[in-house]
Structure 1
């Protein structure tokens, strides 16, 4: 590999990458807000003015957004290893694991403490809902990054806890990934990553769709999306396209994402069920473009970029506000669907404010650094 160049991500935040991450977390929050109200935008007054396909694209692409996150995470983590250590084969294990622990564990610990308190108080949406589930099981699986496996064995977990499944996939991948970087020859490592990335859909097909939870949350399909991000980063470290080529890559990547988010049914029926491949490819193309030619900040998108920089805080804590809002709405209006659309902007604002406070608090306590391009 060529000697790594200092990446512009090291000097300042990359607005394009932050906006992509902001879009992903926005889709996740809106998806989780839509589910409790049962198609909340459609039966509301807003549904009389906007096309159903657009409303569905806004409301029900949270799962696809998680795979955007996986691709982003693999890209940024790999790029950081290359920048700091010069090559994947020279990854500094102590520094890598310390950085992951510093980023993940403090806020995860706080989230688990709050989730446990609400579970003990038997608050709906946070307390175990079946005899197969227990607070000890929820906590133990979250702390050992086996939450998705636990959920696969016991059924859907309480909504407040359910977001932890994707963190389990990501962190298990990062336990083993640096070790493979050290142990395997470069060509063998890249070959394994390619097989994993290309096997995304076949790996999902190994799980029967009747096992709904595990079909959505198994380890290997999520790790395949992470592999797409790793491979994209390795390509970005060797190749920096010019402005014209980057623009074409960006348009192609955006086209892939728009196609999946807006017309997933057509992609599934007529493009060989390639939805998640297009998500990973689209995100990868955008990352290549943004890395090579970082876009300038644009008026009107600062809030989205800021949501991207707060994506981990938003990911861990948005369900507290979402479930609280649902409970308040139902206590005031019952099952009336007409006005559900009015809660969306206040919920997003509250999530944003809470995430900002959490970030500031963590920085003041020295638990988190103000890193320019966190994964």
Structure 2
């Protein structure tokens, strides 16, 4: 007799799914490589015979697909955590839900704003905000306001990349605005089938919105309707994973096919040409991998290789890495201006190594000594005030999707 589908995913407060961390690690490494190559394009002689310039461009140009993966993973984890904590979407406590999001998101956000403002006030030009007609201080205050009100993508649409280091907050704006409505949708529709139908509608709107905004990068990449479909697909995948196990031979056959399709789409051509249905296809591929990983026994993955363990480690740090890597890259650009670093030789490869190692070290320190302690303290305080939902027999997946 086949096993019955689970009612909830096997999650609890200290739980981490290593396969999900691995997927998240791949996503953040693609984003980092994308941003580095924008600043320091890698020439042929710097790469030797390992990768041609065309190969580098194929890997580097589509870093935004890494953000798509983050959106799907985030939707999957938030929904699976909600189901595990409260038993159903309709039973969630909105106040506790928002408190958990604040505990995870806000400390790092405030630290990033503090660092960027201090560097700008210290006279480091790359961290200043540049808006025509506004003084540097007024421009910085406007960028801070956009960051704190989850509207950085709107800010970018109006002013472009006016602040180098804060530009990454466009995706946090998209994600958190989606989650502002998450409890409202669940508590309004209440029936899981209606909630999933609403998410399906959001997922369908995405490609058609992108279709009508071709030629406008802020429209087809950064706008709320252009990005919500990835999160909605992740949410639906989490619900599906509670009812259906994708494992055994079907999973072993399907996952390589899905991975091959995702890699082919990523390398085929620029996201500017493939975004209409490409974002949805990448999100659906990630959803299949997440459903297949939901009930996977984690121990075997960690023993495969040091490389996989390293990628998995970056996945665990992905939120801190995403927010703070442009601090490291901005400092590198300040001390080693791209025009002064020849594309030939190994100078740029050395800078790439410094960038990756410096970003990982900074993210690790922030996670260990700042964000995770504050996250635990804030959640402990929430539990002490009696606002937390019933305790779970285990743990929850980490809520950091970037």
TM-score of the two chains, using structure 1 as the length reference: 0.90
Q: Please tell me whether the aligned partners of residues 126 and 159 of structure 1 are also in contact (alpha carbons under 8 angstroms).
A: yes
How far apart, CA to CA, are the structure 2 residues paired with 1:156 and 1:267?
18
The correspondence for 1:226, drawn from 218, 231, 255, is 231
2:268 to 253, 263, 266: 263
Equivalent-residue separation in structure 1 for 2:87 and 2:238 (angstroms): 13
Give the structure 2 partner of residue 200 of structure 1.
206
Q: Which residue does the alignment assign to 1:320?
A: 327
| Stretches of structure 1 lacking an aligned partner (at least 5 in a row) | none
Superposition pairs of residues 1-375 of structure 1, within 5 angstroms: 4-5=7-8, 7=10, 12-37=15-40, 40-46=41-47, 49-131=50-132, 134-184=139-189, 185-209=191-215, 211-264=216-269, 268=273, 273-295=276-298, 296=300, 297=302, 298-300=304-306, 301-330=308-337, 334-338=340-344, 339-362=347-370, 365-368=373-376, 373-375=397-399
Q: Give structure 2 stretches of 5+ with no counterpart.
A: 380-394
- C-alpha change, 1:255 and 1:36, in structure 2 (3 Å) is same
**Structure-1 separation of matches of 2:48 and 2:271:** 22
Query: How many Å separate the matches in 1 of 2:62 and 2:26?
Result: 11
Q: Is the 8 A contact 1:112 1:139 kept in 2?
A: yes
Contact 1:31 1:60 in 2 (8 A): yes
Cα distance in 2, alignment partners of residues 42 and 158 from structure 1 = 27
Query: Which deviates the most, 3-12 or 186-195?
Result: 3-12
Q: Secondary structure at the match of 2:150?
A: coil
Alpha-carbon distance between aligned partners in 1 of 2:291 and 2:133, rounded to the nearest angstrom: 45
Q: What is the rounded CA distance, in whole Å, between the counterparts of 1:54 and 1:275 in structure 2?
A: 20
8 Å Cα contact 2:8/2:80 also seen in 1? no
| Higher RCO, 1 vs 2 (CA within 8 Å, ≥6 residues apart) | 2
| Aligned Cα root-mean-square deviation (Å) | 2.5
Tell me, in whole angstroms, the C-alpha distance in 2 between the residues paired with 1:46 and 1:181: 51
1:249, 1:289 within 8 Å by CA — same for their partners in 2? no
Offset at residue 275 of structure 1 (A): 1.6
User: Matched residue of 2:336: which SS?
Assistant: helix
Change (3 A) 1:90 1:8: closer
**Post-superposition offset of 1:262:** 1.5
Match of 2:387 in 1: none
- Secondary structure of the 2:200 match is helix
Seen in structure 2, the aligned counterparts of structure 1 residues 365 and 191 have a Cα distance that, compared at 3 Å, is closer
SS in 2 for 1:319: helix
Contact 1:252 1:282 in 2 (8 A): no
TM-score, scaled to structure 2: 0.85
Q: Equivalents in 2 of 1:364, 1:66: separation in Å?
A: 22
Displacement of 1:190 in angstroms is 1.7
Number of aligned residues:
368
Q: 1:105: how far off? A: 0.4
Distance in 2 separating the partners of 1:125 and 1:225? 31
> In structure 2, what is the Cα distance between the partners aligned to 1:138 and 1:346?
28
Structure 1 CA distance, aligned partners of 2:88 and 2:167? 36
